Amino acid sequence: MIRARHPKSFVQQKHWLLLLTFLLTACASTDSGQPVLIGDTVGVLRTAKSKHEDVVFDIARKNKLGILEVLAANPGLDPWLPGQGTRIILPSVHVLPKAPREGILVNVAELRLYYFKSGLLQMTAPIGIGREGYKTPRGVTKVVKKQKDPTWYLTPSERVDHPELPAAVPPGPDNPLGAYALRLGWPSYLIHGTNTPDGVGQWSSRGCIRMYPEDVERLYNTAPIGTVVRVVDQPLKLGLREGELFLQVHPTPKDFDELSLERNPVTQVLSDEKAWIKKEAGPRAAQLDWDAVQKALALPTGIPVQITNTDTNPVSIDGVPGFF
């Protein structure tokens, strides 16, 4: 986990990104803020230039991203001192997980939540999930209760870890649940806000799903009690966009451990991963660019990669040639 506001460099290595070919002809959302699907994907890739006083946490939150998403898309970027005028890739395009498009869909592998209503995508947002030793459950449940200004009732293990706290923490700035909470059918697990937003987009909780305060407020106001909640773990996602297949590979905690120790992330490319891709491609399997697949699996940046071999000409993104 990247510790909040602690001045420590992440990793000072540079390596080229694989070639990206998105046709940026669609807007990421409507005027109402509702995201627009483009095939099996949502959003467009963008870039930003950092200011002298910027830290990556703030850039990520401003653009509805998690800190690790941004660092994975920008290998070698210092999260504390990116520097004046540094061009930062904003990985704000996502292949939808393979799951029913209904209710709340959480993909723990990408640290992201999607909310669908009547088959339409209403919002997508980064999340914080269970850290090592505190796994966020997988499976299907539902929202059973909603609470504004919830009280935090500590579990026995939390009492052991925080003996200085009372058994119940009332609403306020010291309450880690934030201002909104959606209780799930899984006892002791919630989707909630937080008083430490820097933990969003990381493996940072005891298993609950954390959201930025502004995102959980929107979800609270739009997702009714009884909403289906489906939690999946899909580090590989494949989907169509503009008639082409795109592969999105999300880095694992091990990949980030390698980076934090200032080593190149080395992902073992397994034959079963390639077999899964071939199976999912179906009749398009003959068009697969296996070199692009190999590179995407070996260097998981979390940015979708075009893996069908066509004559489509790659374009630059905001002046950045499609490296990733």
Domain count, the chain: 2
Asked which of 212, 232, 252 is the last residue of a domain, the reply is 232
Predicted local distance difference test score (pLDDT) of residue 33: 60
Same domain, 116 and 222: yes
The residues annotated as belonging to the active site are 192, 208
Predicted local distance difference test score (pLDDT) of residue 11: 31
Confidence of residue 1 (pLDDT cuts 50, 70, 90): low
Same domain, 92 and 109: no
Q: What is the pLDDT of residues 2-61, one digit of tens each?
A: 554 433 333 333 233 333 334 333 334 444 467 888 999 999 899 999 998 899 999 999
Asked which of 169, 203, 232 is the last residue of a domain, the reply is 232
Same domain, 113 and 219: yes
Work out the average pLDDT over 115-135: 94
Q: Give the domain range for residue 82.
A: 11-96+235-324
Q: Which of 192-206, 235-249, 260-274 has the lowest mean pLDDT?
A: 260-274
Predicted local distance difference test score (pLDDT) of residue 129: 96
Q: How far apart are CA 131 and CA 161, in angstroms?
A: 15
Predicted local distance difference test score (pLDDT) of residue 157: 79
Query: Which whole-number Å values give the CA distances from 252 to 110, 234, 258, 301, in the listed order?
Result: 9, 11, 10, 10
